[in-house]
């Protein structure tokens, strides 16, 4: 079954009572049981809900995994994954991960004696050197947010298997349409469903997909116990959004390539980070493990003042947090998504004051380019 067919149909069945082709929104907290110990598979909506079940089965099919779990946000999903750890454990994390991942690791979970170390995961030797006797997990993001670094999925999977480490991949930027980390041997895939999976900037959600029965059982228990679950309405919005994921990603990727090429030739742009460009350090690796280069680009304008001028001048490109919607969104990582990271660390990993991130939408690319051209002229 092809990807688009799975996106539309996997896990989705017509409603047995009405024949409704769209999954119903089951707005209920509890379920009547026929007798003690006998029910229809549902007892309480924190544990499971029919609408959420459809989404979980759908994302599992798209990632070619055994089971999916849905959470209230991407960070709720990541936090559930970190609940697999115990006090004293060490976690290796990609240095350019989303600022929220840094924040929960260094500013929240460190107080529970979990040790998060952020390293350059594009270099396998750097990962190897970072491994300690108490290392339990390697958490990578590829492409990274916002500098678009690419980590070798197969190499990390092999290393983690040999050292008996749990391997986790944030696949938000690529989506299952462009890469499937589980097929390379990684243990867990996590998504911010808020972004490309939903695709319409109208919900929050997080998704996890995995194969290992023991990890599935533990994460199900954590999901039920901690309770950061996705609501039925949010699940329905995500189910609806995923149906058009393939066509949206095709358009976003095509637009992003044109935007990246335009920016790379502009004299006011110091550097462009986009894996589709031959100049990208891991361009060949991206070609190997991805089926497209995505819709995310970051580019450096040299100074904070230049970034401010551009962001004040755009009109079509909306200055806003988040990414992955049908509309083009533009942001300033240093003061928005990555503001919780100390200045010295931001500069070290390339999240400079002049760096701008753009989530290229599916508008007519000529209009996106015209907006950027006018904004760059203001610098």
Is 40 known to be catalytic? no
E strand or H helix that includes residue 166: strand 166-170
Is 212 known to be catalytic? no
Which tokens hold the place of 44?
Answer: 């309480």
* Catalytic position from the list 46, 268, 271, 374: 46
Which tokens hold the place of 185?
Answer: 């041997």
Q: For residue 306, is it left (φ>0), alpha (ψ between -120 and 50) or beta?
A: alpha
Neighbours of 326 (CB within 10 A): 15
Which tokens hold the place of 339?
Answer: 């503001």
Is 46 known to be catalytic? yes
Is 274 known to be catalytic? no
* Catalytic position from the list 115, 170, 187, 353: 170
Which tokens hold the place of 1?
Answer: 């079954």
Residue 325 CA to residue 196 CA, distance in Å, equals: 6
Residue 278 CA to residue 276 CA, distance in Å, equals: 6
Q: For residue 234, is it left (φ>0), alpha (ψ between -120 and 50) or beta?
A: alpha
* Catalytic position from the list 136, 195, 251, 357: 195
Contact 99, 341 (CB under 8 A): yes
Collect all residues with Cβ–Cβ distance below 8 Å to 269 and sequence separation of at least 6: 263, 299, 300, 301, 376
* Catalytic position from the list 98, 102, 196, 274: 98
Q: Taking every pair of C-alpha atoms in the chain, what is the biggest distance, in angstroms?
A: 73
Which tokens hold the place of 201?
Answer: 């900037």
Residue 322 CA to residue 358 CA, distance in Å, equals: 10
The residues annotated as belonging to the active site are: 46, 98, 170, 195
């Amino acid at each position: 079954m092809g990807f688009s067919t799975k996106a539309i149909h996997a896990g989705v069945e017509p409603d047995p009572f009405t024949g409704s082709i769209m999954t119903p929104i089951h707005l209920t907290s509890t379920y009547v049981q026929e007798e003690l110990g006998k029910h229809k598979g549902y007892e309480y909506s924190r544990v499971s809900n029919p609408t959420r079940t459809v989404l979980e089965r759908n994302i599992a099919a798209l990632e070619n995994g055994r089971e999916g779990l849905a959470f209230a946000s991407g960070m709720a999903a990541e936090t559930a994954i970190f609940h697999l750890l115990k006090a004293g454990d060490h976690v290796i994390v990609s240095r350019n991960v989303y600022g929220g991942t840094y924040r929960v690791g260094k500013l929240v979970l460190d107080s529970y004696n979990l040790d998060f170390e952020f390293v350059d995961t594009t270099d396998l030797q750097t990962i190897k050197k970072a491994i300690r006797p108490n290392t339990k997990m390697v958490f990578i993001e590829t492409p990274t947010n916002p500098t678009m670094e690419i980590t070798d999925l197969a190499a990390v999977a092999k290393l983690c298997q040999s050292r008996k480490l749990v391997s986790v991949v944030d696949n938000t930027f690529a989506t299952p349409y462009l890469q499937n980390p589980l097929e390379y041997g990684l243990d867990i895939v996590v998504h911010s469903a808020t972004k490309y999976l939903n695709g319409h900037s109208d919900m929050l959600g997080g998704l996890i997909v995995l194969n290992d029965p023991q990890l599935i059982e533990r994460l199900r228990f954590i999901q039920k116990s901690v309770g950061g679950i996705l609501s039925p309405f949010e699940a329905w919005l995500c189910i609806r959004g995923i149906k058009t994921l393939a066509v949206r990603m095709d358009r976003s990727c095509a637009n992003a390539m044109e935007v990246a090429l335009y920016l790379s030739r502009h004299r006011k742009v110091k550097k462009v980070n986009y894996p589709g460009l031959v100049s990208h350090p891991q361009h060949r690796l991206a070609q190997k493990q991805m089926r497209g280069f995505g819709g995310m680009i970051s580019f450096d304008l040299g100074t904070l003042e230049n970034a401010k001028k551009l962001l004040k001048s755009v009109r079509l490109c909306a200055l806003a947090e988040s990414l992955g919607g049908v509309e083009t969104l533009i942001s300033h990582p240093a003061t928005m998504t990555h503001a919780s990271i100390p200045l010295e660390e931001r500069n070290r990993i390339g999240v400079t004051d002049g760096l701008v991130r753009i989530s290229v939408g599916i508008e007519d690319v000529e209009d996106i380019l015209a907006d950027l051209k006018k904004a760059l002229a203001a610098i």
